[in-house]
Amino acid sequence: MELQQVAIKDLPKGEFFKRKPDANKVYQRDTYNREAKKFDCIDTTDIWGNGLQLKGSTVVYIGFDY
Q: Are 8 and 55 in contact (CB under 8 A)?
A: yes
pLDDT of residue 1: 66
Q: Record the pTM.
A: 0.89
Q: What is the pLDDT along the chain (66 residues), one digit of tens a residue?
A: 689 999 999 999 999 999 999 999 999 999 999 999 999 999 999 888 788 999 999 999 999 987
Strand 38-43 and strand 51-54: pairing?
Answer: antiparallel
Strand 59-62 and strand 16-17: pairing?
Answer: unpaired
